[in-house]
Amino acid sequence: MKGKTFAFHAVAGTLSALWLLPIALVLLTAIRTFDDIAGNGLGALPDSFSLDSFGEAWHAGGQSQAMLNSLFVTVPTVLLSLALSAAAAFALSRYDIPFRRAIILLMLAGNLLPPQILLVPVAKLCELLGIYDTLPALIVVQVGFGLGFYTFVLQGFMRAIPDEIQQAATIDGAGAVTIFWRIILPMTRPALAALSALAFTWVFNDLLWAITVLRTGTVMPVTPALLGLQGQYVSNWNVIAAGSVIAAIPTVAVFLRFQKHFISGLAIGAVK
């Protein structure tokens, strides 16, 4: 029995160490100086310590602007997506909407489409509307594409809320909007929290939509801007590493803060 526990920890411990190794490496690379890397090689252990690379990536590398762009995109996208999908989910789950099931599946199907089929038309649509290469374009595109999935999850959740609660509120004279705002929405909070944490990471980490509707370097959010940073600092691996660390901070923070929600969000329906 003891031997078995030991073997378990040996296997799991080795795997965990292997998994953490690249993260340790990027942190170690970020704190090295350029001369150290150039002289001793990228794979060598640090022979220097400096945090200048973070400043370099943040200021000259343009990451401060990119981070602002990311927040301008991510926060409104998450809020809008959840507001719209919660409203749709409310109608679809609590009332006898004709063809409700067909509508739910149609909306979900939209989210399951491979994005490639949408890229060219969406880029052209943005040009046509005059919003190509602006952050609002990225917001609306991502809201539109995500809605189906969020609506599907939220309506499943709202449907499980007992009908009696709503009946009682109706008898007390509450209208649909009041019921939505005061009763159903608060009861949906766990699902909303899980989806917000997930949506934040998805939108923040997105590359494909950003490089489809944006072109100019200065409007790029952090994730696509990392590629620009790499082009700018070709062999300055300390700056590139620092940039990667900076780009990962917001999602790591959201994950650590909302760990429970995050995991349950991921698990939404992996079961069945």
Partner 1 sequence: MATLTASPTVAPQPNRVRRRQKRRVPPVLLAFLLVPLAVEAFWVFWPALQGFWLSLTNWDGVSAPSFVGLGNFRELFGDPIFRDSAFNTLIWLVLFGGLSAAGGLGLALLLQREGRGVGFYRAALFTPVVFSLVATSLIWQAIYQPDGLLNKLLGGLGLESWQHSWLADPDTALYAVLVPALWRQVGYVMVLYLAGLKGIDPTLFEAAKIDGAGRWQQFRFVTWPQLRSVNSVVLSDSLRSFDVVWAMTKGGPYHSSELLSTYMYATAFQSLRLGYASALAVVIFVLAFGVIVAYLVRAFREDDK
**Range 102-141, binding partner 1 (CB under 8 A):** 103-105, 107-125, 140-141
- The whole-angstrom distance between residue 11's C-alpha and the CA centroid of its chain comes to 31
Instruction: Report the alpha-carbon distance of residue 163 to residue 156 in Å, rounded.
Output: 14
Q: How far is the CB of 185 from partner 1 (least distance, A)?
A: 12
Please report whether residue 168 would count as binding partner 1 according to CB under 8 A. Answer: no
Nearest CA to 170 out of 179, 160, 161 is that of 179
Q: How far is the CB of 192 from partner 1 (least distance, A)?
A: 10
Near partner 1 in 40-99, by CB under 8 A: 41-44, 84-85, 87-88, 90-92, 94-97
Please report whether residue 180 would count as binding partner 1 according to CB under 8 A. Answer: yes
Find the part of the chain contacting partner 1 (CB under 8 A) among 8-16, 52-60, 61-69, 71-79: 8-16
Please report whether residue 177 would count as binding partner 1 according to CB under 8 A. Answer: yes
Binding string, residues 231-270; x marks residues near partner 1 by CB under 8 A: ------x--xx-xx--xx--xx-xx-------xxxxxxxx
Cα→Cα distances 233→31, 34, 74, 102, Å: 16, 11, 26, 51
Closer by beta carbon to partner 1, 51 or else 112: 112
Among 73, 135, 184, 226, binds partner 1 (CB under 8 A): 226
Instruction: Report the alpha-carbon distance of residue 240 to residue 256 in Å, rounded.
Output: 24
Please provide the DSSP assignment of 77-144 as one string: HHHHHHHHHHHHHHHHHHS--TTHHHHHHHHHHHHHS-THHHHHHHHHHHHHHT-TTSHHHHHHHHHH
121 contacts 151 by C-beta, under 8 angstroms? no
Binding string, residues 186-225; x marks residues near partner 1 by CB under 8 A: ----xx--x---x--xx-xxxxx--xx----------xx-
